[in-house]
Chain A
Amino acid sequence: MTEKTVLNATHRALGARMVDFGGWDMPINYGSQIEEHHAVRRDAGMFDVSHMTVVDLHGARAREFLRHLLANSIDKLKVHGKALYSCMLNETGGVIDDLVVYYLGEEFFRLVVNAGTRAKDLAWIEQQATAFGVQVKERPDFAMIAVQGPHARRKVLDLLHEVDRPRIEKLGKFAAAAAQGPHGMPLFVARTGYTGEDGFEIMLPEQHAVALWEALQAAGVKPAGLGARDTLRLEAGMNLYGQDMDENVTPWEANLGWTVSLDAGRDFIGRAALERQKAGGVPRVMVGVVLDDKGVLRHGQKVLAANGEGEILSGSFAPTLDKAIAFARVPAGETGALRVDIRGREVPVRQVKYPFVRDGKACEGV
């Protein structure tokens, strides 16, 4: 049985093309994925991301529990409302999921994990939480709307209760706070996103989601589907769980080393394996590639390097750049010039530093 978000009928009324996405019936586009992509880069777009799983953690030892559960250090969160991106690893250092954790109180943290990994994530978190006496509570009563783009914040701020506006306007990146939306609806507004643009991700009780969506649309925010979300996050250099990393890939191999905190004395799950791999040498690395020729890079295509073979992870046509880009996992060391096997044709690609796009424009060298 496919699950539906509370906005399902709204998407259908807008003429969305719906697809199955990790067991959820979600809009892939509302007509043109490329136009939706440009709307986010140039103005403001919104995504229904209510399929994502919100999990609240309560308990006196909640912080101590997260020190153990997450590869990034929860102690970086010192101010209420601040958020942190982290991987949750298994004992062999493989990535169970990537998530965002919000600090809402010394005994209260909120996680947002991927929809496609919901069941195994909950099982893992609950299993680990027992020893810390932490209560794990899923919040299916929340809907979530991501509003992204250079004008996204302005358009959201205009809909907030005026007493909340100055405070939410000053909200720093990767921080969240409560505010009142249209008709006094309670919002949890986070300055986070998955597009490389500024904006907010808004959690709210699901009975208010349609009203907020409609208010945003009336304010000129363009509905955008998961298709555009995927090309936007790839251009922005952000990993997608299941495509760029999974339980057989360590953060070192997924260019997520920046999210791993090997702080002194913290015994998080997977740490020993990560240290072993680092000491012994990481066998594979993730790089960015650009195809200057015609064609499209796709997940699963074979990459040919001087020192062995690799594969394309996330790959797509990039609307902002008007050419194909991808992440590739290749053997560590001297790869030489890379080539990709596109349906039997060996095509040269250029290895580049990513993000590919920042603030609506191509990054240098891309």
Chain B
Amino acid sequence: MSEIPGDLKFLKSHEWARVEDDGLVRVGISDHAQGQLGDLVYVELPEIGAAVQAGNGAAVVESVKAASDIYAPVSGEIVEVNELLNDKPETINEDAFGDGWIFLVRPSDRAELDELLDANEYQELVENDDH
């Protein structure tokens, strides 16, 4: 298990959100989640310009084992998606918190970020998950 970066916020469903310097929110899944899913083979990315709602499905990742909805941690508009995942979905397995990011959102309500778990709370959740 790689170290959970302290600047990330999390949904209980294992998505992470990082507020970038320009105020956009980058979203991916945690290293714990990729480990649970196993080898990823397909990522269904959202459309650029699509509106997403916090807590609603915005993308789908599929491993050999199962398909999983990726929920948007914040509401807003999709401004960029990680096209690299079309050819190399395994990037999420290799670097879940970095190159394996999935989409970038322009948030419509930044207060939603306060609802998310911080890194410590998420760490605790994962540890309880393992028992």
Contact = CB atoms under 8 A, between A and B. Distances in A.
A32 interface: yes
Given A296-B62, A343-B60, A227 B67 contact: no
B12 interface: no
A294 B50 CA distance: 21
Contacts of A298: 66-67
A34 B86 CA distance: 18
Interface in A202-239: 227, 231
Given A28-B38, A29-B38, A231 B64 contact: yes
A343 B35 CA distance: 24
A34 B90 CA distance: 11
Interface string A55-73: 0000000000000000000
Interface residues of B, number: 14
A343 B66 CA distance: 13
A231 B38 CA distance: 13
B65 interface: yes
Nearest to B38: A33
B36 to A, nearest CB: 8
A33 B65 CA distance: 9
Contacts of A295: 42, 44, 62
A26 B44 CA distance: 30
A35 to B, nearest CB: 8
Contacts, number: 40
Nearest to A342: B67
Interface residues of A, number: 16
A319 B42 contact: no
A296 B42 contact: yes
A17 B93 CA distance: 15
A34 B66 CA distance: 14
A33 B41 contact: no
Contacts of A33: 38-39, 64-65
A142 interface: no
Contacts of B86: 294
A17 B65 CA distance: 13
A356 to B, nearest CB: 15
B64 A319 contact: yes
A32 B94 CA distance: 11
Contacts of B64: 33-34, 227, 231, 296, 316-317, 319
B38 A317 contact: no
A33 B34 CA distance: 13
Contacts of B41: 34, 296, 317
A294 B41 CA distance: 9
Interface in A1-39: 17, 28-29, 32-34
Given A33-B64, A294-B42, A343-B67, 5 more contacts: A17-B35, A34-B41, A296-B42, A296-B64, A317-B64
Q: Which 9 A-B pairs have the closest CB atoms?
A: A317-B41, A34-B39, A296-B62, A317-B64, A33-B64, A33-B39, A33-B38, A294-B42, A32-B39
Interface of B: 35, 38-39, 41-42, 44, 60, 62, 64-67, 86, 93
Interface of A: 17, 28-29, 32-34, 227, 231, 294-296, 298, 316-317, 319, 343
